Structure 1
Amino acid sequence: MISRNIISSIRKATITNNLGLKRLISTSVFLSQKASVTIPRPNVTSKDYKPPVTLDRELPDPFRNKKLNRRYFVAYAIGITLSCIFIFNYEKTQSPIITSTLYFLRRSQPSTDSLGKDIDFTSSWPWIWGTLNTVQGIIDIEFKVQGSKGAGVVKLNATRESKLHPFDVHAFVLEIDNKDGSKQIIDLTQDPNIDFDL
């Protein structure tokens, strides 16, 4: 009898332990499944939280209006080209070569006799025609000037071999249109009072 009671109690304990172990395993599996399925919600009150970007409508197709895009591109290219041309011309007007030329004209007796005093550009937006490249040593320019008596065109042509050499002035003239339609050409390099040097 004692042995039977002991055996039955051992069986009950084993069954109880097996049931507890099964419950423990099933509980851990349920919790792991629940943890894997559950998505943590972001903290809305947090300052670092940024809501996802959503689009209410489709993005426009950039290739839909090809003709209009070509017109915009052509207008943009023309605008950029004109801007570069005006910038380069402005740099020419601020060049030391142009400043020296105007300074010589204001001191030269033949130019003041023909143009008068206060010799300067004909407009507030002067245009310098030709090549003005002191790095390569090429100067071949012309621009309009005016004074109190009249207006004319200055033409300057000079070159140099290198940066160590001064410019050789080949032509430096002032052309003035007379009232009868003829042109008066004054060679400014022949002015004995002033030595023009670049």
Structure 2
Amino acid sequence: MLKTIGLNSLKTSSRFVRLSTCRTLAVTTRRLNTQQTKTTINNEKPMRIDRELPDPRADRKKQWAGFAAFSIAVGSALAIIFNYEKTENPIISDTLYQLRKSATTKEWLGENIEFDGIIPWVYGKLNPVAGIINITFYIKGNKNQSGMVRLVADRENRHDEFLIHEWSLTVNDKKFDLLSESSSKTLNHN
């Protein structure tokens, strides 16, 4: 029995020695890590404000030039977006379709009527919701001749059709009334 008690106390004391050794190592490691951190922090340059802050009003010309460039870029992007919306409007698509069928347009510009230029541009006001159409755009055909189309129309309210006042094609300073060769004087777009 004594042997058993002695063995048990020996096992317990060896566990205690192991645990205390592990605790001592852990505490020592923590102390060393904090000391190293403190020494590295102390070796760095301290933060001081002993110099003048930058003047925000310096280089005014650069600031104005940057603002002007930004404004021009944003304005150009908006103009391109709004023009794209105009060129994709059903009224423009219908107008191009009618121009492709027109005998006068075929005679002066040829077949394959499309927008003239790399970037198609629709000038003027195209607001079907308000009932106002006053647009101008350039077209070309396979005869390498370009022409300017003008369309002016309006309507009283949303339920009415657009009443066309002017629909013309100008080629080489000759103006052709496309409204006279069309059977309809209205655009049916709601």
Structure 2 Cα separation of the partners of residues 71 and 148 of structure 1: 44
Structure 1 Cα separation of the partners of residues 122 and 178 of structure 2: 19
* 1:106 maps onto 2:96 in alignment: no
- 1:55 positional shift: 6.5
* 1:186 maps onto 2:172 in alignment: no
Structure 1 Cα separation of the partners of residues 141 and 73 of structure 2: 34
Structure 2 Cα separation of the partners of residues 123 and 151 of structure 1: 10
Greater radius of gyration (CA) = 1
Which string of whole-angstrom CA distances, capped at 9 and with x for unpartnered residues, describes residues 2-30 of structure 1? xxxxxxxxxxxxxxxxxxxxxxxxxxxxx
Structure 1 Cα separation of the partners of residues 87 and 162 of structure 2: 19
For residues 7-22 of structure 1, what are the structure 2 equivalents within 5 Å?
A: none
For residues 150-165 of structure 1, what are the structure 2 equivalents within 5 Å?
A: 150-165=145-160
- 1:194 positional shift: 6.9
For residues 162-173 of structure 1, what are the structure 2 equivalents within 5 Å?
A: 162-173=157-168
* 1:145 maps onto 2:135 in alignment: no
Q: How many residues align?
A: 144
For residues 35-184 of structure 1, what are the structure 2 equivalents within 5 Å?
A: 61-149=55-143, 150-177=145-172, 183-184=173-174
Report the secondary structure of 1:123's partner residue: coil
Report the secondary structure of 1:126's partner residue: coil
Q: 5+ unaligned residues in a row in structure 1: which ranges?
A: 1-40, 45-53, 178-182
Normalised by the length of structure 1, the TM-score is: 0.63
User: Over the residues paired in the alignment, what is the CA RMSD in angstroms?
Assistant: 2.7
Structure 2 Cα separation of the partners of residues 196 and 121 of structure 1: 23
Which string of whole-angstrom CA distances, capped at 9 and with x for unpartnered residues, describes residues 105-131 of structure 1? 011122112211001111231111111
Contact 1:104 1:196 in 2 (8 A): no
Normalised by the length of structure 2, the TM-score is: 0.66
Letter in 2 for 1:120: E
- 1:174 positional shift: 0.6
Structure 1 Cα separation of the partners of residues 112 and 78 of structure 2: 31
- 1:195 positional shift: 6.8
Report the secondary structure of 2:187's partner residue: coil
Cα distance change, pair 189–55 in 1 and its aligned pair in 2 (3 A): farther
Which string of whole-angstrom CA distances, capped at 9 and with x for unpartnered residues, describes residues 129-153 of structure 1? 1111111111111111111222211
Structure 1 Cα separation of the partners of residues 139 and 170 of structure 2: 10
Structure 1 Cα separation of the partners of residues 161 and 186 of structure 2: 12
Report the secondary structure of 2:150's partner residue: strand
Which shows bigger deviation, 187-196 or 81-90?
Answer: 187-196
Q: 5+ unaligned residues in a row in structure 2: which ranges?
A: 1-30, 35-45
